[in-house]
Amino acid sequence: MNFYVMTLFPEMIEQGMHTSITGRAIAKGLLSLKTVNIRDYSVTGNGRIDDYPYGGGAGMVMQAEPIWRAYEDVKKQIQADPAVSESPRVIYLTPQGRVFHQEMAQELAAEENLIFLCGHYEGVDERVIEAIVTDQVSIGDYVLTGGELPAMVMMDAISRMVPGVLSNAESGQSESFSDHLLEYPQYSRPEVWRDRPVPPVLLSGHHGNVDRWRREQSLLRTMQNRPELLKDAKLGKKDIAFLESLSD
């Protein structure tokens, strides 16, 4: 999986991505990251890449041409590999996009190359979005100062779906959202911490009871925090009985 990021803040992306599990995956060659500074493609000679919006209004707009030139450069690098046939997907991070979710991460993890376009200021000239972008994605209903953190959020979620990125121990865990239920709580030593004991069932050694308790904790949390997820969850008779017992 090769990530290309077009941004005004390449150091932010590099720092974040070279840390922890994604950093290890890059070092192992399972992922590659190439950041492209859009400012290097300024057409005015003075490094300027933004201008006033036509029609007036507050803020500045990122100009089409520097982004187009940055894209052409990235595409040339990708297509230098004769094994690459189709044009890579270009993801523009914007609160106007479709909201990112786990299935999208799974689908994008199957791509060989992904290009991310991070906007700043009030936006990007619509014409370059029309010309190069294949997917417009938001990471949720709040406004951020730029697309860099959303790009890193997406790359993190996609990376952990790439074979070999997670160790067996890391990927062996069942996980939130894959089955539309939230995770159950975890405990480790000591058995009693500041007067708070570990739930006794976890010390019982009875695996059937442990599994049932964890399942019920997942159901309880999902009901309390994300009830809308339950409609897509696969629920058995015991699950339904447990959920009904909650409303008594």
Positions touching ligand 6GU (CB under 6 A) are 93-95, 138-140, 142-144, 146-147, 150
Rounded least distance, CB 158 to ligand 6GU, Å: 14
3-class secondary-structure state, position 141: coil
CB of 60 to ligand 6GU, least distance (A): 14
Closest CB to ligand 6GU among residues 100, 184: 100
Neighbours of 152 (CB within 10 A): 23
Q: In the bound complex, what is the minimum distance in angstroms from residue 124's beta carbon to ligand 6GU?
A: 11
Smallest distance, Å, CB 159 to ligand 6GU?
18
Shortest Cβ 119–ligand 6GU spacing (Å): 7
**CB nearer to ligand 6GU: pick between 23 and 95:** 95
| Contacts within 8 Å (CB) and 24+ apart, 146-149 | 146/8, 146/9, 146/118, 146/119, 146/120, 147/7, 147/92, 147/93, 147/94, 147/116, 147/117, 147/118, 147/119, 147/120, 148/7, 148/9, 148/12, 148/13, 148/118
- Minimum distance, C-beta of residue 169 to ligand 6GU, in the bound complex (Å): 32
| Cβ atoms of 78 and 113 closer than 8 Å | yes
Between residues 113 and 138, which has the closer beta carbon with respect to ligand 6GU? Answer: 138
**Hey, what are 106's tokens?**
């799974």
Q: 145 vs 245, which CB is nearer to ligand 6GU?
A: 145
Cβ proximity to ligand 6GU: between 144 and 161 the closer is 144
Report helix, strand or coil for 53: coil
> Using CA atoms, how far apart are residues 105 and 108, in angstroms rounded to an integer?
5
What one-letter code names the amino acid at 85? S
- Decide whether 92 or 184 has the Cβ nearer to ligand 6GU: 92
Q: Least CB distance from residue 127 to ligand 6GU, whole Å? A: 19
With respect to ligand 6GU, which residue has the nearer C-beta, 23 or 146?
A: 146
Long-range pairs, 17-25, Cβ under 8 A, ≥24: 17/152, 17/155, 21/159, 21/160, 21/165, 21/166, 21/170, 22/155, 22/156, 22/159, 22/165, 25/159, 25/162, 25/164, 25/165
